[in-house]
Structure 1
Amino acid sequence: MKPGDGSSAPAVDVQSLYPFLYAQESNVDSVIEQVRSSTVDKAMEIIELRTRVLDREGPRLLECAAAMAERFAARGRLLAFGNGGSATDAQDLASLFLSPAGGGGPLPAFGLTNDIAVITALCNDIGFEVVFARQIAAFGRAGDIAVGLSTSGNSANLLRAFDEAARRGLFTVGIAGYDGGRMAELDSIDYLFVVPSPSVHRIQEAQTTLYHALWELTLLALGDAAERVDR
């Protein structure tokens, strides 16, 4: 079946993203120009979005990084979690702190989706909504750091995890998209950073920049604290 013949019409959102794929007639030069234009438009969108997030959240990122540095200095650990693409972002965040590439030694950080046996056991025996809260209950301790990532801000298992983390005295950081969703309604998140966009793609791109900045700022804060101690 060919696109556009009425027998198997593609989803409207796909057509709007890539109209040149569904044109009845096209030529190579036209397709290349449309691809170029689409790429430029998306690049400008993410640049503008990152700038907006930085302008709005810059001071709070510094505050949050300083608080995280204090907890790492006091032997706190970071527990990161999320679903789907946000799960891989959480694992990336944990790996950043474990890597000494940014200067200094590795810091204790864990991705709560790393152990598939634990994840599937909790899902099968209890329910998906507890996969992070149960692990925080088992491993988390006062002074640790819990970071949860979500594009929608509505994931039930993240909401449960933040409430459990706050109850146990962990420092909590949320990274969400859209308008923050239900995460914006929680009292159990110490710092919530929202990427205001209706596009999941742009949200995740900006969130990646945001947590990389948080990692770098935390390392800088730790370095400044160590330098003051040495003097």
Structure 2
Amino acid sequence: MRVLVVEDHEELALTVAAGLRREGMAVDVVLDGRSALDRTSVTRYDVIVLDRDLPGLHGDEVCGSLAGAGYPARVLMLTAAGTIDDRVTGLGAGADDYLPKPFAFAELVARIRALARRSHRALPPVLVHGDLRLDPSTRIAVRDGRRLPLSPKEFAVLELLLTAGGAVVSAEELLERGWDEFADPFTHTVKVTISRLRRKLGDPPLIETVPQAGYRI
């Protein structure tokens, strides 16, 4: 899952991003509204965590611009103002959910995951393919009764492949949605991760390489 955190308080932004990365998400951070719009013009995110009270370009304006452009990401708006009127205004600007500060980190994670599920076609809470079961909420993958010791990136790649429902997913898309802005697109990161994932999944093989196209379950 690719997440953009837009928060002008740098320490808070970096703390939230670090926590979300520990939850297996690929996270980018920007500190103002203009940068958020610049970033979304070149990168597809699943969820945007957007501070409403941004200096310069207000969070409502950012949200309205994204909605007007038909940008597909779900927006979770954060603000220190938690009145009913504030929530109504934020949701009216195009936000999909609203979380007042201060917030519990566990609730933030739960809301992000819920929004990510809504940004794709309807999916069951547990992804199942044959004897493989993957639960995104608990970050647990099991095959034939055996829990798989997956790294966060291996889990993310497997989740993306299962979510595709048998469709081919290119290496470029896996890199864009499973890694953050610091990933080097010219490395063999995806290929290496797929190789490790195959070893951990065991036999019979589940991941097929489609030449010059990508990978699929």
Same fold flag (TM > 0.5)? no
TM-score by length of 1: 0.41
TM-score by length of 2: 0.43
Structure having the higher Rg: 1
